[in-house]
Amino acid sequence: MISWWEREKVQAAKVLVVGAGALGNEVVKNLALMGVGHIFVVDFDTVEMANLSRSVLFREGDERRNKAEVVAARAKALNPGIQVQYLHGDVTADLGLGVIRRMDAVIGCLDNREARLALNRFCYWMGKPWVDGAIQELLGLVRVFVPGEGACYECTLTEQARRDLSLRYSCPLLARENILLGKVPTTPTIASIIGGIQAQEALKLIHGLPVEPGKVIHFNGMTNQMHSTAYLPREDCESHWVYGEVVELPARAGYTTVAEMLRIVGPDLGPQAVIELDHELVISLTCPVCHTVDQVLRPLPQVSFEAAHCPACGTLRDASLTHQITAEPPFLNRTLASIGIPPLHVLRARNAVEYRFYELTGDAAEELHFRHFEGPEASQPSSVRDRIRLGAEVSAGQDGENSARSRVSIHE
């Protein structure tokens, strides 16, 4: 009976919810009740007893269970007619861009700037809108960011926030140990209010209804006042970049080696091709006292501050880092997954003139199935392969046939 409601669009919609805390609980609950057909929940944390007072989907017996799994399971119980999927992992390192690329809307229910900044860039690169929410005590805000329309999240950061981020990362191995500065006090009422607005904004995006990108809705539960403010977009914002056409490859992160990937991009970009990583890769750790060198070859998020100390003398070791792959790296035979590239990711490669983009589409059947809690056989990777229909796969062609028609030029 709702005049603008299109049931088919809602049932076909795919929505990614990043964060399964108090806000994430409310958002997923709302999406499930509204019948959004495909919900993907991502969170790296586990349930604590303290979460129960403000998280509608958690129960006492859920303590120490993965938040994403519990939220997805409860959403399926609320509405068995929807399809759900979850990922217990860090959105900054464990979620492939190919997942975001296939979403109709993304909702951020996060509690730190680092994760918001990463999600903002990922959505902008893939040309996808996202809805951000934040709560503290009786205060909350909601923002919709649409690539190319108004300000993005990075545009909203103050100079002090930028300095804080730079300071947090002045010692990169320590930064990953301090992602969360502390628990944010909140109430279930403000989570319900802000989560409701976020879900409503996502529903408007699904229907193609007008939203106000680049604006923030503030709600003050103490005074019951609500107002909106527009942000100014920054012309020099580093997030403002949309990837060009993506070439879909049958390659898989867990099986394709670095050397094989370089051979794929070579016909397009030539011998000077470089593959850029979205994260820093720790090549080695060198002790300045013992002068011992350990070859690491692990993504920065997987190297703890404690592990960075020399096991012999306890001195903090110097890290050798890189964020790009060339034709002569010391790890050509390593798989893409072993150097931190998640499944179904979209890799960017370049030469001195242009960028091109390649998706590990071979991972799609296992990484985007929306079949969790559909029965024991449905959760197995082999059972979902025939349920995912991709566009025409592009393999590593010969004589330069594997090329992306849309190109992004590098401006000098």
- Tokens for 307, please give them: 């592990």
Instruction: Say what the pLDDT of residue 166 is.
Output: 62
pLDDT > 90: percent of the chain: 72
**107 or 299: whose pLDDT is higher?**
107
**296 or 152: whose pLDDT is higher?**
152
Print the SS3 string covering 189-217. Answer: HHHHHHHHHHHHHHHHHHHCCCCCCCEEE
Residue 173 pLDDT grade (very low, low, confident, very high; cuts 50, 70, 90)? low
| pLDDT higher than threshold 80 for residue 138 | yes
Mean local confidence (pLDDT), 305-332 = 89
Distance (Å, whole) CA 76 – CA 59: 15
| pLDDT higher than threshold 50 for residue 387 | no
Check residue 51 and report its DSSP letter.
Answer: G
From the list 17, 29, 25, 21, the residue with the least C-alpha distance to 78 is: 29
Distance (Å, whole) CA 105 – CA 201: 10
Minimum mean pLDDT range among 160-164, 283-287, 369-373: 160-164
Specify burial of residue 254 (Cβ count, 10 A radius: 0-12, 13-18, 19+): middle
In order of start, what are the domains of the chain with their CATH numbers?
A: 7-230 (3.40.50.720), 246-409 (no CATH)
Residue 375 pLDDT grade (very low, low, confident, very high; cuts 50, 70, 90)? confident
| pLDDT higher than threshold 50 for residue 394 | no
Radius of gyration over every alpha carbon of the chain, rounded to an integer in angstroms: 22
Mean local confidence (pLDDT), 335-339 = 94
Cα–Cα separations (whole angstroms), residue 124 to 129, 141, 177, 391: 8, 21, 27, 22
Specify burial of residue 175 (Cβ count, 10 A radius: 0-12, 13-18, 19+): middle
Please check whether residue 308 is in contact with residue 317, taking contact to mean a CB–CB distance below 8 angstroms.
Answer: yes
Mean local confidence (pLDDT), 112-120 = 92
- Give whichever of 65-79, 149-163, 330-344 has the largest mean pLDDT: 65-79
Instruction: Say what the pLDDT of residue 302 is.
Output: 80
Mean local confidence (pLDDT), 44-73 = 95
**323 or 330: whose pLDDT is higher?**
323
For residue range 257-279, list pLDDT tens digits in order.
999 999 999 999 999 999 999 98
| pLDDT higher than threshold 60 for residue 176 | no
Indicate the pTM of the whole model: 0.87
Mean local confidence (pLDDT), 64-89 = 97
Instruction: Say what the pLDDT of residue 180 is.
Output: 44
Mean local confidence (pLDDT), 139-155 = 96
Residue 256 pLDDT grade (very low, low, confident, very high; cuts 50, 70, 90)? very high
CA dihedral 360, 125, 159, 112 (to 10 degrees): -50
Residue 184 pLDDT grade (very low, low, confident, very high; cuts 50, 70, 90)? low
Q: Where are the alpha helices (DSSP H) in 208-350?
A: 258-269
Residue 100 gets the label, from left (phi > 0), alpha (psi -120 to 50) or beta, of alpha
Instruction: Say what the pLDDT of residue 119 is.
Output: 97
Distance (Å, whole) CA 155 – CA 235: 9
Instruction: Say what the pLDDT of residue 403 is.
Output: 39
Instruction: Say what the pLDDT of residue 407 is.
Output: 45
